[in-house]
Amino acid sequence: MSPSLALLVFTDLDGTLLDHGSYRWDAARPALTALARIGAGVVLASSKTAAEMAPLRDRLGLGDWPAIVENGGGVLPPGTGGELPANTHQTVRARLSGLPAGFVGFSDLSVADLAELTGLSTDVAGLAKQRRFTEPGIWTGAEADLPDFLNAAEQAGLGATRGGRFLTLSLGQTKAGRMQEVIDRTRPLHSIALGDAPNDVEMLQAADHGVIVQNPHGPRVPPLPGEATGRIRRTTRPGPAGWNRAVLDLLQELTLIGDPQGDG
Point out which residues bind Mg ion (CB under 5 A): 12, 14-15, 196-197
Give the nearest distance from C-beta 32 to Mg ion in angstroms: 18
**Signed CA dihedral, 54, 57, 62, 65: sign only:** negative
User: Which CB sits closer to Mg ion, 153 or 194?
Assistant: 194
User: Which CB sits closer to Mg ion, 17 or 62?
Assistant: 17
Q: How many CB atoms lie within 10 A of CB 138?
A: 15
Q: Do the Cβ atoms of 71 and 210 come closer than 8 Å?
A: no
Give the nearest distance from C-beta 15 to Mg ion in angstroms: 4
User: Which CB sits closer to Mg ion, 95 or 239?
Assistant: 239
Give the nearest distance from C-beta 7 to Mg ion in angstroms: 22
Q: Which residue is at the shortest CB distance from Mg ion?
A: 15
DSSP string across 99-129: SPS-EEEGGGS-HHHHHHHH---HHHHHHHT
Give the nearest distance from C-beta 178 to Mg ion in angstroms: 16
Nearest Cα to Cα of residue 157 among 170, 148, 168, 147? 170
User: Which CB sits closer to Mg ion, 96 or 239?
Assistant: 239
User: Which CB sits closer to Mg ion, 185 or 217?
Assistant: 217
Give the nearest distance from C-beta 46 to Mg ion in angstroms: 7
Q: Rounded to whole angstroms, how far apart are CA atoms 161 and 138?
A: 11
Nearest Cα to Cα of residue 125 among 116, 133, 134? 116
